[in-house]
Amino acid sequence: MNNPLMQDLKQKLVDKTATIAIVGVGYVGLPLILRYSQLGYKVVGIDIDQSKIDSLNAGKTYIEHISDHAIQTALERGFTATSDFSKATKCDALIICVPTPLNKYREPDLSYVTNTVDALIPHLRKGQVISLESTTYPGTTEEELLPRVESTGLKVGADIALVYSPEREDPGNPNFETRTIPKVCGGHTPTCLEIGIALYSHAIDQVVPVSSTKAAEMTKLLENIHRAVNIGLVNEMKIVADKMDIDIHEVIKAAATKPFGFTAYYPGPGLGGHCIPIDPFYLTWKAREYNLNTRFIELAGEVNASMPNWVVNKTVLALNTKGKAVNGAKILVLGIAYKKNVDDMRESPSVELMELLEELGAEIAYSDPHVPKFPPMREHSFDLKSITLTPKTIAAYDCILLATDHDKFDYDMLKQHAQIIIDTRGKYLTAADNIIKA
């Protein structure tokens, strides 16, 4: 690298004298804050949500698997949180970790990314690196970030570095943490890539360089499309197996004994989380620009999107066998987080199940040890608090719908006292009169 400005930035990142700004302090950004702080970097968290800023500066967490103590330790090491984007000027690295949802037409909503970049633009300077971690379609960094950055007069690759490095967080997974999950990184220029590697090399055990920001963007999509397609396959197989009176979970368990050529994926009531239900459609949308139809992805999306309705139908039929209508039935949904043992509600299929059943006239309640009160959500609203499970409360409901299989649930107690259990997660491997597989 012959550029003294970029060489100086790289050296700051290598010797940990750089100031790192994490823009977006949610499930992706907060673990990065803690990791860089742990390494000795000066870290600034920037977010438009003042409640998160106030919580962090008070040493309080808002994510269940991250402790107050971890945040307090970061504060002691010099971490600060702010909603003032002008603080970015004093930072050497700006890592953007904001949501990239879909709109109601299943089209990418990049407003969080573009609004964030636009808020940063007045405060950019020479000798910085910008890294986008938000999942998006191939070309976003070049088409959306590059022209915005260069509108300031700064030349990417010479005055400022631009990289794309997709997040790979898996909340609640005890086997992996930010440090141990390999980090893919692509730069707009070779110099940008070199700076990107320096940015992440201390924080992450293994940095995986790729040839471009497009390649890095596509890598993230392929990872999640792989999962979405295979989950769609096993969800479809679940329906077929159900019609044939075969337990799909027994079949998966047996197939998984093959030591090669098979990877176990498990069916459920629908897809949840911030990646799997959303990311494939970023590629299908972009592919249309090239007159391509991604039929495989679309089909998997259709199957996965149909699962909540299939579960509701199984619930209606189960109630019918007991001589009860869904209209007026008291239904308790177990688990409203999108996956087990976390408090993350993003795109949770449990919420759609609750809405569908409520539309049919059911009286809905929920129990989730990780979500004590139904949180405010952009498109959903329930004024509910988590029900404590006891033999008496369980027996009081016409139906228990097991949507998310948290380890904290007492499954033996549920089986003993529930009138009906709709099991969407395969927790009950042995048959029982009050258990319906869905």
Exposure string over 185-219, b if 16+ CB within 10 A, otherwise e? bbbbbebbbbbbbbbbebbbeebebbebbbebbbb
| Beta strands across the sheet bearing 42-46 | 80-82, 42-46, 19-23, 93-96, 128-132, 160-164, 183-187, 207-210
- Round to whole Å and give the CA distance between 305 and 243: 19
Residue 216: both structure tokens together: 């890095």
Q: Which residues pair with 422 in a beta bridge?
A: 401, 436
Q: How many beta carbons lie within 10 A of that of residue 59, not counting itself?
A: 15
- Round to whole Å and give the CA distance between 104 and 108: 10
Q: Which helix (H) or strand (E) holds 197?
A: helix 190-201
Is 275 tagged catalytic?
A: yes
Q: Are 335 and 379 in contact (CB under 8 A)?
A: no
Q: Are 411 and 394 in contact (CB under 8 A)?
A: no
Q: Which of 91, 97, 192, 275 is catalytic?
A: 275
**Can you list the pairs that 413-417 forms with residues at least 24 positions away whose Cβ atoms lie under 8 Å?**
413/389, 414/334, 414/389, 416/391, 417/391
Pair type for strands 160-164 and 183-187: antiparallel
Residue 96: both structure tokens together: 């953007």
- Round to whole Å and give the CA distance between 279 and 287: 13
Helix intervals (H) in 244-271:
248-255
* 373 three-state secondary structure: strand
Residue appearing with tokens 């009906």: 420
Mind telling me the catalytic residues? 275
